[in-house]
Amino acid sequence: MSDSRQSEVAVLGAGVSGIYQIKRLVDLGIDAVVLEAENDLGGTWHRNRYPGCRFDSESYTYGYSFSKELLDEWHWKERFSSQPENLRYLNYVADKFDLRRHMRFNKRVERMAWDESEHRWHLSLADGDTHTARFVVTSLGPLSAATLPAYPGMDEFEGPSFHTFFWPNEPVELAGKRVGVIGTGATGIQVIGEIADKVSELKVFQRRPNWSTPLNNSPISESEMDAIRDRYDEIFANCAASPQGFEHVPRWGFWDMTAAERRELWDELYTRSGFAILAGNFAEIFVDEAANREMSEYIADRIRQRVHDPAVAEKLIPTDHGFGLQRLPLETDYFEAYNRPNVELVDLSQTPIERLTATGIQTADRHYDLDLIVYATGFDAITGAFDRVDIRGVDGTSLGEKWRDGPSTYCGLLSHGFPNMAMVAGPQSVSGSTNFPRAIEGGVDWVTGLLEYLREHGYSRVEAQPEAEQEWVDEVMRFHERLLFRRSKGWFTGYNSNVAGHEEGNVRYQAYFGGATRYTAKVTELAANGYPGLTMA
Ligand code: NAP
């Protein structure tokens, strides 16, 4: 029997954003429910269970900052916490604040239609249920629409095969297995480093290499955790002051140093943790081709030092984009994996995959016999999760149609024609390009502030004005054009060879690259000034 319910607010997704969003709404006494497609909470940390999956933000900068009690209670065990621990953390938060009772699982929203006469959204769920809500807050996640390649014969392979996003919950036997991994993005690089010494053979199918630098993970002892707790105010203040939401702070002055001094600095950054070498580096490497070239050459030398076979090392060095111009994967023993006798790099740029067979992968020059195939082939990023819901706004306009050539939003938070739909971690916000929880806490607080404002003023409808939206799109494009990112093929700029309309050459202005500090200042000012650019009724 189908069920029909209603609430003032429906939050879509029970991941990192949805959990905090429902906490804020419940605290305000707003009638709200989370609809989650999966059978449990956790979002990205519920789904991605592949070996090696872990933060690449320092754990203590990733946790929620909103509760001192929570900060005092939780002990991060590693500087870069692993997926099982991260999922435990999110469950701990939900249980501590009794949030589960506001969540409904296995509730995939398939369609959302705006009703102008009632100022309400009507939601149709995959299980036949319906839900009506005055406001919808999307917290769908920027990387939740996994994409597979389309090779002939994919369904003929007789062994297990899955996308990393759908790595099974039950243990997967790796010992003694011949495993193929397709894809060398941040995910593939984590998997490969982790499983290389656990499988009998590992074939890595690489189309384009990625720059990658050491994660430099380490355990966090009780006393170190105490010191971190004492420093939490400072840590979050540092993150708020950094464009990428980390404690690492970029610097200008590339050309004020000698080449030897720069190398000395990079030697130090290479041994520091996480994104230090990216977010704590010279800002010039993102805008100045000569600076970027020198930096790239430094990292290339590091790869040459770590990979014994010079021919393999060269194949692992990107030549189509400079260091830091696609999302930087962080690695643990990744390059050393290629020194193992059981690991082979298959260069798809030389010998492309022709098809899959019952027993493995056929490339242009030979067949690889495999027991297990892992697709680490990425996501229809940022807008993909929206495209998977049929969202119909004013006069039945389709959001998918509106965003066909790329999203158009008011600060990544609302979109004209789709009233009462607020986005946390939406397209053209900073959530995709910064330390995620730092960005979404700001996003959730902003959306919650807007809902409070509407309630206080008795408004039942809010919509972005087209002119204000265009101003933001122009701002997004301005920063895009300023950065060397613009020429790279990565999900930041909407590239995905497996999704129609996202192939090479179709630039989509999906993310705001002006930095979190500038973004926060902008949206805070809008709220303080009574939300110019929004029409309320
Ligand atoms: P990705 O960066 O988009 O990488 C996908 C990989 O699959 C690329 O190497 C791509 O090759 C390859 N590929 C795609 N289609 C293919 C095809 N048809 N044939 C052969 N190869 C193909 O995806 P991802 O590695 O899943 O990472 C996505 C994002 O998730 C990351 O950038 C990061 O933001 C996030 N992530 C975060 C963490 C963390 O926080 N710890 C960990 C993992 C991932 P091309 O480069 O040639 O397209």
The radius of gyration of the chain from alpha carbons, rounded to an integer in Å, stands at 23
Question: Which amino acid is located at 197 in the chain?
Answer: D
> What band does 504 get if pLDDT is binned at 50, 70 and 90?
confident
Q: What per-residue confidence (pLDDT) applies to 146?
A: 98
DSSP character string of 316-361: TS-SSS-TTSSPPPEESSHHHHTTSTTEEEEETTTS-EEEEETTEE
Q: CB–CB of 238/58 below 8 Å?
A: no
The predicted model gives 58-78 an average pLDDT of 98
The CB of 139 under 6 Å from ligand 1? The reply is no
pLDDT in tens, 93-103: 999 999 999 99
Please tell me the distance between residue 48's alpha carbon and the centre of ligand 1 in angstroms: 13
Q: Which residues are 34's β-sheet partners? A: 11, 103
CA distance 35 to 109: 8
The CB of 332 under 6 Å from ligand 1? The reply is no
- Burial class from Cβ neighbours inside 10 Å (0-12, 13-18, 19+) for residue 252 reads exposed
CA distance 164 to 183: 10
End-to-end Cα distance, the chain: 37
CA distance 301 to 218: 25
CA distance 190 to 123: 37
Q: What per-residue confidence (pLDDT) applies to 211?
A: 98
pLDDT in tens, 196-222: 999 999 999 999 999 999 999 999 999
How many residues belong to the chain?
537
Q: Which residue has the tokens 């830091």?
A: 324
Sign of CA dihedral 514, 520, 522, 523: positive
Quick one: which atom of ligand 1 is closest to the CA of 497? 15
> Which has the closest alpha carbon to 517: 253, 287, 246?
246
Q: CB–CB of 356/121 below 8 Å?
A: no
Average pLDDT, the chain: 97
Question: Token pair of 28, please?
Answer: 């305000």
CA distance 434 to 412: 14
> What band does 506 get if pLDDT is binned at 50, 70 and 90?
confident
The CB of 149 under 6 Å from ligand 1? The reply is yes
Q: What per-residue confidence (pLDDT) applies to 432?
A: 77
The CB of 493 under 6 Å from ligand 1? The reply is no
Q: CB–CB of 273/217 below 8 Å?
A: yes
pLDDT in tens, 453-482: 999 999 999 999 999 999 999 999 999 999
Domain ranges of the chain: 4-145+381-463+512-530, 181-375
Give, for ligand 1, the residue of 187, 216, 244, 246 to mutate: max count of ligand atoms closer than 8 Å to Cβ.
Answer: 187
Atom 12, ligand 1: residue with shortest CA distance: 183
pLDDT in tens, 287-312: 999 999 999 999 999 999 999 999 99
Q: CB–CB of 255/263 below 8 Å?
A: no
> What band does 1 get if pLDDT is binned at 50, 70 and 90?
confident
- In the CATH scheme, what is the code of domain 4-145+381-463+512-530? 3.50.50.60
pLDDT in tens, 374-383: 999 999 999 9
The CB of 55 under 6 Å from ligand 1? The reply is yes
Q: Which residues are 115's β-sheet partners? A: 120
Q: CB–CB of 418/437 below 8 Å?
A: no
Q: What per-residue confidence (pLDDT) applies to 187?
A: 98
pLDDT in tens, 325-351: 999 999 999 999 999 999 999 999 999
Q: Each residue of 195-214: b (16+ CB within 10 Å) or e?
A: bbeebebbbbbbbbbbbbbb
HSE at residue 497, side-chain half, CA atoms within 13 A, is 8
The predicted model gives 10-19 an average pLDDT of 98
Sign of CA dihedral 491, 496, 499, 500: positive
pLDDT in tens, 193-203: 999 999 999 99
> What band does 507 get if pLDDT is binned at 50, 70 and 90?
confident
CA distance 418 to 441: 23
pLDDT in tens, 156-175: 999 999 999 999 999 999 99
3-state secondary structure of 134: strand
Max CA pair span of the chain? 72
pTM beyond 0.95: the answer is: yes
> Which has the closest alpha carbon to 134: 120, 123, 116?
120
The CB of 153 under 6 Å from ligand 1? The reply is no
Q: What per-residue confidence (pLDDT) applies to 518?
A: 96
In this predicted structure, the answer to whether residue 234 has a pLDDT above a threshold of 80 is yes
The CB of 486 under 6 Å from ligand 1? The reply is no
Contacts of 431 (CB under 8 A, 6+ apart): 17, 142, 412, 424, 425, 439, 440, 443
Atom 10, ligand 1: residue with shortest CA distance: 183
